[in-house]
Amino acid sequence: MSGTRRTQMTRQLFRDSLIELLQTKPFQKITVKEICEQADLNRTTFYLHYDDQDQLLDDIVGVFKEGLDRYFPPISDKTDRINRLNEYLLYVKENYKIFRILMSNDQAVGKRKKILEDLLSERISAHKPKDSLPEGKYIYYFILEGSISMVLHWIDYNFDLRPEDLARQIDELCYPVFERYFC
């Protein structure tokens, strides 16, 4: 096993451990010692990879964001939008613990929420509101927060809809608003 592969596996153990701890405890109360115990690794190993818990959380956010970058649907034809949104929802479903944590009200974690909002806003803000509407920013937040809320409720309801059905719902609700004001 190469050093790179070992490094990746070790980092994944630390990421998984912090995610598990965040299920039951606020970020500010989690110690490096607890993370190491959860991962069954020692503190020296932790500090070989991370300076502190914040850097580990940033690593988690970065890995999750890379996945979102791949799957978040660019705005294009309807079939492509729904297929890409479906892929994105499958990714969220596979990584729901991370998504749920990053969207939590935990202040230390919540500041990372901006990274996800920035990713989503890049997709929408590439389009300017028609006629420089002063209310454009409110419409933009309606689309952004509405979509995020639907995904969070989907997680809360234990994925009671198939991803493709939720993708179709989000598209049917959000895209006409987007198209009316931004295209």
* CA–CA dist 116, 176 (Å, integer): 23
pLDDT of 120 reads: 62
Give the pLDDT confidence score for residue 174 in this predicted structure.
85
The token pair at 46 is 């932790």
**Model pLDDT for residues 35-74, shown as the tens digit of each residue:** 999 999 999 999 999 999 999 998 998 888 888 777 765 5
The model's pTM? 0.77
Q: Are 108 and 27 in contact (CB under 8 A)?
A: yes
Residues of the chain with confidence (pLDDT) below 50: 1
Domains of the chain: 3-50 (1.10.10.60), 57-182 (1.10.357.10)
Residue 1: its pLDDT value, please?
Answer: 42
Do residues 52 and 72 touch, judged by C-beta distance below 8 A? no
How many other CB atoms are there within 10 angstroms of residue 23's CB atom? 9
Give pLDDT, residue 101.
81
